[in-house]
Structure 1
Amino acid sequence: MPRFEVRQSAKLNLTSYSGLALIGQCCEAAQVEAVIDPRLPVSQGMKTSDLVKAMTGLLSLGKSDFEAIEPFRQDRFFKEALGLSKVPSSAWMRQRLDAKAGELRERTDELSVRLLERTKAPITPHKGFVRFEIDTFVMDNSDTKKEDVGHTYQGVDGYCPIAGYLGNEGWNMGLELRAGNWHSALETEYFYERAFPRVKRLVRADQPVLMVEDSGFDSARLLFAKAEERDAWARDGRVLEFVTKWNPRKQDRTAWVKRAEEANAFEVTRPGKRVGLLDLQVERAWQKQKRTFRLIVRVTERTIDKKGQHLLVPDIEIEGWWTSLTLPAVEVIEHYRYHGTHEQFHAEIKSDLDLERLPSGKFDTNDVILHLGAFAYNCLRLLGQLGLTGEIAPIRHPAKRRRLKTVLQEIMYRAAKFVAHARKLILDFGRGFAGHVQVFVALQQRLLRAASP
């Protein structure tokens, strides 16, 4: 077994996260300084935009703790890559975010929209519709005394944020923190008001948008909000449709079997199992208003299980979907089945960005960190879509998108020699990395074009 002599050079300046240079250019393309500094000026000290870029840089490396900034305070590459006048300390970062959280939160979502607009990020449809997936998920913050930590629907103490994802790529259109004991539908109409203008800006006017939600969003209030938003889009000559899973709550399943039998809707799919599809028009009321909505209900009755065992009592299952689509019922159900793919995006936010357990004890500060996490998520997703899925990408299996972990491994944590000489900043990747260098150069050129006025 060979033994290696270990040395520490005083001259070489190496970095193990060269991809941070691309994050700095993403910040430039998103015009962080133009968006943040005019609204949050400072009379002295560090600019607010420097704080935003430093936190975004940390999150794009999968680090969410304030203390993670300390090793970078003497790192010139970190400072130069993100275009910082100075790298903040952990205490300064925490204090400034605590003081400016409310104002900063209002501006951070604009960064993602500008980034995707100016880089002309691909937004691909699925079966003719650009999908807009909305859902809540649980962030486990057990054994903490953080503000508004509550008992979630998964039985753990934590937060229950809401998120919206656009297109097959899963661009994040909104990521907002919520107390753990909030219901999915609580105040969600206000999330619609903030998210839909961003969707309109990014999706071409001739592309129809399909909004998809699970049964947690089944309420008359939200159905009316979606219908009113759909009408507003129609007045602008645009198409917005929706599919929301029906929550049967206290429905009588036997009565639904009888109803399907009366409609002659049952079809036998195998011995002992029959399935019926009902296409209904149901009137809903909200605040003295009434609207008729389309409800598709699938009734499944099993008298023999899949192993051939006869059941003493029939097993009855009912599922339903509220929708504005005029497609056949089977196609509507297929559109909803694709909704499950967005669960990967939740996992990437919690694990790849290390945002499962938020760093602050204050709710507003954690909320703004989550908003900045959405911006970092979109930066990494953009690098993956532009650099790891096209012809110049290193050899990998074909995919519609690369998960953030792959972007971190292939781009962000690529080692290089950092050289500052003759007013030039150089990243030397060494031998054997020609494919990755090509990706890096192509991404840099794309982002520089977007950043130019």
Structure 2
Amino acid sequence: MPNVKFHASRRTLTSHAGLSIIGQCIEIAGVDSIDGRFPTTLGMRNSDVLKSYLGLLCLGMSDYDAIENFRSDKPFKQLLTLQKVPSTATLRQRLEKLAANDLQARIAAWSTTLLSLAEVPITAEKGHVCLDIDTFVMDNSNSSKEGVSRTYQKVDGYTPIAAYLGNEGWCLGLELRPGKQHTMKESNAFLERVMPRARGLTEQPILLREDSGFDSKAHLALIEQHCQAFADDGRQLDYIVKWNPRDSAKADQDTWRAVAADYWEELRPGKRQALWVQSVSITVDQVEHVVKRVMRLVERTADRDGQLLLEPEYELEGWWTSLDEAPEAVIQRYKAHATHEQFHSEIKTDLDLERLPSGKFATNDLILHLAQLAYNILRLMGQLGMTGELSPVRHPAKRRRIRTVLQELVHRAALVIHRARQIILDFGQDIGRMAVLNTLRARLRYPRESPC
């Protein structure tokens, strides 16, 4: 065993050198602008409270008590440009107070401002930038938090709704919902808030993708209205929404088999499918919309091992769409919608938000909006600093998981040196990470005004 000794010196060290980039992104987003609307009270700026909690989230922590470890951490205060670091009690009380002032829309605007001013890369897939909207479950079992109730996954918790843009997965909306709330409830209002953000970030054609929980006439009519508004501006918006076959449709198998009679094709012995396109008329508020629906009926008379079934099994699926493509192409485009499940996972695990810290619904909703900004900051660091030639050695990928960004760029040790009114981070022999962070800092340096 080596002879290890411990020694303390007067040098200032930090294990979170990536906070230098996080602080810069928070400045770009314009978080300091909140002090103009809510002046300093009791010696603590509201912007310091929000930036402190954003710093915690960007370090993968969400618990209020975690702030105590940074109250005497000088680099944490300096790199996030804080006047003071709040205590646990102050952080909790001030977030609850701010949540009562409906700051959610303002925080969402900060996130959009960051993505816009940083000119983030937004990658299209097959000619369309995908906008994926879906709900997911946050398990908060064995708690008495406000809004916790039975979810569709048979656990007690919340079912927030989120929207992600592009192959990179930029988060354009993240809002808390009670666990028992149906997917479709208030989703039209959510779409109305998200669509202008997507429209302002890219000029490319947009493809909206949603699962069967969003299958309603009113929602389809609203999407058709947005498609028309895009067309009036010389732009393109398409959509794919999974069809939800109600009980009556499932029961009427004879009718579906009769329609599919001319479209059967054998996939393997004992399995065949039929693909066709229908035009369906829906009327909402006395306005008629003709919507295309891609249908697929699968018949199985034997399993994959060749074992014959006693009776044929039928599987009926459908997709509402505005795409003028073959049914196979529409189905393949929808399959890629499942990628957003990874983004849900990163919010719940990498940002440590599976179990929300507050007992009050409004405060937890505010925290999720702050998590949207923290998520985009870390995603930005990953896309600009970990996918190019300067990236630390990793396997090739379109994007890096937030946990990887935390490990490679945020949790990096450095010696903090103060010289000539400058803060210098000395990385020792870790030249690779220093080059990445230095490139990020130069890439994000813009002259800017307060966005709000």
Q: Deviations over 1:179-201 (max 9, x none)?
A: 00011111100001111111111
Contact 2:392-2:432 at 8 Å conserved across structures = yes
Q: Tell me the percent identity.
A: 51
Structure 1 residues 450 and 160 mapped into 2: Cα distance closer, same or farther (>3 Å)?
farther
Alpha-carbon RMSD across the aligned residues, in angstroms, is: 1.4
Q: 2:3 — aligned with what? A: 3
Q: Secondary structure in 2 aligned to 1:121?
A: coil
Q: Once the 2 structures are TM-superposed, how far is the Cα of residue 270 of structure 1 from its aligned partner?
A: 1.3
Q: Is 1:402 aligned to 2:400, yes or no?
A: yes
Q: Deviations over 1:400-432 (max 9, x none)?
A: 10000000000010111112234221111111x
Secondary structure, counterpart of 1:103 in structure 2: coil
Which amino acid is 2:96 matched to? D
1:310 aligned partner, one-letter code = L
The one-letter code sitting in structure 1 at the alignment partner of 2:418 is: A
Task: Tell me the residue number matched to 1:374.
Answer: 372
**Alignment map for 1:68-107 (pairs within 5 Å):** 68-101=66-99, 102-107=101-106
1:415 aligns with 2:413: yes
**Per-residue Cα deviation, 1:327-367 (whole angstroms, up to 9, x for no partner):** 11111111101101111000000000001000000000000
Q: Which amino acid aligns with 1:23?
A: I
**Alpha-carbon distance, 1:85 to partner:** 0.9
Question: SS at the partner of 1:308?
Answer: coil
1:149 aligns with 148
Task: Report the count of equivalent residues.
Answer: 447
Q: TM-score when scaled to structure 1? A: 0.96
- Please state if 1:38 is matched with 2:32: no
Distance verdict in 2 for CA 1:17–1:43, change over 3 Å = closer
The structure-2 alpha-carbon separation of the partners of 1:44 and 1:254, relative to structure 1 and needing over 3 Å to count, comes to same
Gaps of 5+ in 2: none
The amino acid that maps onto 1:260 is V
Q: What whole-Å deviation, never above 9, does each CA across 1:59-109 have from its counterpart, x for those lacking one?
A: 000100111111111111000010111111111111111111143212101
Structure 1: 5+ residue runs without aligned partners?
Answer: none
Q: Match of 2:54?
A: 56
C-alpha distance in 2, partners of 1:105/1:195? 13
TM-score (norm 2): 0.96
Question: For 1:231, which of 216, 225, 228 is the aligned residue?
Answer: 228
User: Cα–Cα, structure 1 residues 43 and 69, in superposed 2: closer, same or farther, change >3 Å?
Assistant: closer
User: Residues 230-249 of structure 1: matches in 2 within 5 Å?
Assistant: 230-249=227-246
Which of 330-339 and 40-49 deviates more?
40-49
Name the structure 2 match of 1:185.
184
Q: Is the 8 A contact 1:29 1:450 kept in 2?
A: no
Q: Shift in Å at residue 258 of structure 1?
A: 2.1
Contact 1:28-1:451 within 8 A present in 2 as well: no
Aligned to 2:216: 219
Q: Please give the secondary structure, in 2, of the residue aligned with 1:237.
A: coil
The answer to whether the 8 A contact 1:384-1:407 is kept is yes
Question: Residues 147 and 134 of structure 1: is their aligned pair in 2 closer, same or farther, counting only changes over 3 Å?
Answer: same
Given candidates 206, 210, 213, the residue that maps to 2:207 is 210
1:12 alignment partner in structure 2: 11
**Distance in 2 separating the partners of 1:261 and 1:280:** 11
Cα distance per residue 1:301-323 (max 9 Å; x no partner): 01111110011110101111001
The CA distance in 1 between the partners of 2:257 and 2:109, in whole Å, is 52
| CA gap 1:190/1:258 in 2 versus in 1, 3 angstroms | same
> Residue 257 of structure 1: CA displacement?
4.3
For 1:255 and 1:352, how far apart are their aligned partners in 2?
49
